[in-house]
Structure 1
Amino acid sequence: MGRRYFLDKDIVKDKNNNIYVVLTNYNPPGYIFAYLKYYYSGKGLWKGYDRVFKYYGVKNLLEITQEFQYEPCYGVKYPILSLSNIKNHYKPDEKILEIINKSHNTDLEIIMLEILSKIKLNLRIGIGGSLLLGINHEKSDIDFIIYGKKSILDFINNFDGFEEDKDWIYETAQNYSLPLDLVKKIYTKKTRGTYKNIKYSFLFVDDIPWKYCEMTCEKVGKIEVEGIIENEGAKSLVYPSTGLLHTSNLTYKIISYEGIFNYIIYEGGNVKVRGMLMKCNDENVIIIGDREVGGYIKPTL
């Protein structure tokens, strides 16, 4: 029997056949944190499905029409789905084995297998997105998911990527209202690019469920500060990504809910950070992706 617990990047279908993506490794009793990504119209490009969540980012997530619930531990609202409304649970780590063991593969699956063959690392890996659901079209992206701290670090330290995804750079600059030069600095082919004109991404997930409500947070206010960021190993690459910001007089915990900044947190160095300052278990925490202030991490050198 496969795992029954939910991890970040798992996908679920509700009883109305709407499709959601799980957001976290921690989930309260009775429901999960997940955002609505597809609904079935019969006319959509994804075998009749249409995308609801077309552009990533917290500001776009907040515009989705679905149920949100305020979580007092974290002081924010999360998109949720009740466990009683879940019809199917799709697991990326199980789907990739199914594709590898098939006797005949689709063209997109063959490209996926080619990419895997070129990585040449012993990784715990899964396949997400439309391939996981079986609703992909011929130009769908290939979304790989790497599980576990050792696999994540082995991958990031040994894989250089393929061709640059120029579309992602320009679309991200526009979507997040960020300067193009900044997006180019935080971009890496290691995690997002193209191979034989097919777009790929590598996403990272801790393979261990986290404890719900492990910390409690209270908002202090907007902050903008410069310092040196230090990564926390694989924790800087999973979602939400974390790091430590050392300034001249204080050290802050950085928690980014905007996935585009995870690699710059991992790389470390001199940065300017803008976000929401929070007090979490008596620790100074800067949240990137707060609904009120947004935020960013900019390299300064």
Structure 2
Amino acid sequence: MGCGLASRQASNAAKIRPRDFVETQEGLIFSVVTHHQEEGRALGVLRYVKKGACWRKVNTPQADSLLETHYPYYLYDSPRLDARLHGVPVTRVVRHYQSQLRLAEILTPSSGDEIEEKVRGLVQLFEAGGLYSQNLGITGSLLIGVQQVGSDIDLVVYGQKNFQQARRIIKQALTKGQLDPLDETLWRETYKRRGCSLDFQEYLWHERRKYNKAVWEGTKFDIVLVSRPEEIKGDSRYFHKQGKRKLQAQIKDGSEAFAYPARYRLVHAEIDTVVAFSHTYVGQAETGEWVEVVGQLERASDGELRIVVGSSREALGEYIKVIPLP
């Protein structure tokens, strides 16, 4: 639980971007997950609930239960995705916490906060590698000012090219000893929070090669991609669930592996695409690799088939993993 000092005024819908937070009049803060809005709603996940003057973080089951019991109007049955989501009508947003603006505030030192000082040093490391702060943002607890001594740093990187550059910087900095890799304790904590359907060694193998997390001055940090609007391929089709499906196939195109949702084009006679809404399976496979996938088969309104991994945040019973060539 934390008592944040940061505040933002409500802003218009067009400015709400993924990894920004929106606050409602009831004292609920949602993390936005997509540029796309449906029926005037920003789609996201409930992350913080106000208790007195402080904010309490909630996990996905807690968030679902709270909304179902007390705030059902923030549950949205998407006709396009054939799924129940958290959706905030933009007319009910009373504060908009903008990732990019919050980072700019942190980079102008105004407090002796230990974690904010580490953010400034970390951003300097990225800038030394040619990735400048105007292409970065901050999310998570730092976005609303409720970070604590043990908090992680969640950096947002805007744009596909910038994100790949950030991964290269992390890889090089690990090689040079400027950053530390996660130790087994941190990896196991991350694995436990994810609650994924891979065993620990499988999870670890996939994660270590992504170069989207490391340790800076004793604090774990992650980077997450927010694609620019011009990089997003619009898809207005409607999808209908067909039941669970397991398959093995080769990745034809993994260029959108780190986007949200992650998208993997397949070499397969029936199914064109795997879409991953769970962050665990972002960046999971590369072009040319073979994967085993378990997820929900969906049929688009034009007849195309896809498999969705992450019908819930934890994606229990669903996964993507790289396998040896058959």
Q: Same fold (TM over 0.5)?
A: yes
Against the structure 1 CA distance between its residues 288 and 126, is the aligned structure 2 distance closer, same or farther, given a 3 Å change threshold? same
In the alignment, which residue of structure 1 is the partner of 2:149?
Answer: 138
Amino acid at match of 1:102: P
Listed as ranges, the gaps of 5+ residues in structure 1 are: none
1:190 aligns with 2:197: no
| Identity percentage of aligned residues | 20
Q: Shift of the alpha carbon at 1:273?
A: 0.7
Give the whole-Å Cα distance in 2 for the aligned partners of 1:69 and 1:259. Answer: 21
CA contact (8 A) 1:275 1:286 kept: yes
Distance 1:38 1:103, change over 3 A: closer
Mapped partners of 2:113, 2:189: distance in 1? 29
For the residues of structure 2 that align with 1:41 and 1:63, how far apart are their CA atoms? 17
Could you tell me the TM-score, scaled by structure 2's length? 0.80
Pair 1:19–1:229, CA change in 2 (3 A): same
Q: How many residues align?
A: 291
Aligned equivalent of 2:131:
122
Report the CA distance between 1:250 and its aligned residue.
Answer: 4.3
Which residue number corresponds to residue 282 of structure 1? 303
Is residue 2:305 matched to residue 1:296? Answer: no
State the Cα deviation string for residues 54-88 of structure 1 (Å, max 9, x = none): x6xxx776555353211111111111112222110
Note if contact 1:270-1:299 (Cα within 8 Å) is conserved in structure 2.
Answer: yes
Alpha carbons 1:172, 1:183 under 8 Å: kept: no
Distance 1:156 1:95 in 2: 22
Q: What is the rounded CA distance, in whole Å, between the counterparts of 2:188 and 2:155 in structure 1?
A: 22
* 1-structure distance, mates of 2:148, 2:120: 17
The alignment status of 1:96 with 2:106, answered yes or no, reads no
Q: Secondary structure at the match of 2:251?
A: strand
Structure 2: which 5+ runs fail to align? 1-8, 175-179
Per mean C-alpha deviation after superposition, the further-off stretch among 70-79 and 213-222 is 213-222
Q: 1:50 and 2:56 equivalent?
A: yes
Q: Distance in 2 between matches of 1:95 and 1:71?
A: 31
**Cα separation, 2, equivalents of 1:294 and 1:7:** 30
What is the deviation of 1:181? Answer: 1.3
| CA shift digits 1:258-300 (9 cap, x unpaired) | 1111121346612111111112233221100125974101111
Question: Structure 1 residues 85 and 271, CA, compared in 2 at 3 Å: closer, same or farther?
Answer: same
TM-score normalized by structure 1? 0.86
Aligned to 2:82: 75
Aligned-pair CA distance for 1:128? 0.8
| 2:160 counterpart of 1:149 | yes
1:219 is the counterpart of 2:219: no
Q: Is the 8 A contact 1:169 1:183 kept in 2?
A: no
Task: Report the secondary structure of 2:104's partner residue.
Answer: helix
